[in-house]
Amino acid sequence: MDDYMAIAFIRHGLTDANERGKYIGWSNPSLSRKGIDKLKQIKRSYKPYEGCFSSDLNRCLETSHFLFPEASIISSPLLRELHFGKWEGLTYEDLKGNEEYQYWITDPSKSPPGGEGIHQFIKRVEVAWEQIKGQIDSLNGDRYSVITHGGVIRHLLTSLSPKSDHRSFWDWEVSHGNGYELGWKTEEDWRDQNCTSLREVPLMARANG
């Protein structure tokens, strides 16, 4: 039986900054040549979605248009990655001697200088998810994609995954251009927090729940 609702959370394609290991939470680079080539390889493996919700940053919007050119796109700054403040554009090698950075690694509840802490980030992402659910209810479809960032997807998966497949934030592996499709079998399930099924996309290598 088909799910009542299916939502795919997909990480944007690679950028040059990603390839160099830079922190680019709110920075706005475009996709790299390598990132575009990877999306070309996997594009046909994705089934179409009726609509697409996206972070408003270039790398997500470009991924949305590339993977789902026929879908309408609704963008929101609430779907951005964690804001790394003064550490934007820097790498671990740049920062490893910074005492404040080392403290943040062990306690991410502390905000990077000029950035946001994990609790502020989580609250923002949860507001974004509530907005998406409200918009979906008004659109009357049953298959949507959300193109966003690794941290956003990890938090949503931690919050929404089936109770039988509970993982912590860092246990979720989300590579660029890939993600997970969550399914809710009935309208009643959709009104609840946790989905009833989960599978990787576009490879669909594993299914749980």
Active site amino acids: 12, 81
User: What is the C-alpha to C-alpha distance for residues 140 and 92, in angstroms, rounded to an integer?
Assistant: 45
DSSP 69: T
Structure tokens at 92: 């671990």
In sign, the C-alpha dihedral spanning 157, 159, 162, 167 is: positive
15 assigned binding-site residue? yes
37 assigned binding-site residue? no
158 assigned binding-site residue? no
DSSP 87: G
The tally of CA atoms less than 13 A away on the side-chain side of residue 160 is: 27
59 assigned binding-site residue? yes
12 assigned binding-site residue? yes
The tally of CA atoms less than 13 A away on the side-chain side of residue 146 is: 28
Are 31 and 13 in contact by the 8 Å Cβ rule? The answer is: yes
Q: Are strands 179-184 and 5-11 parallel, antiparallel or unpaired?
A: antiparallel
Query: Would you list which residues are annotated within the binding site?
Result: 11-18, 59
Binding-site annotation: residue ranges for substrate: 11-18, 59
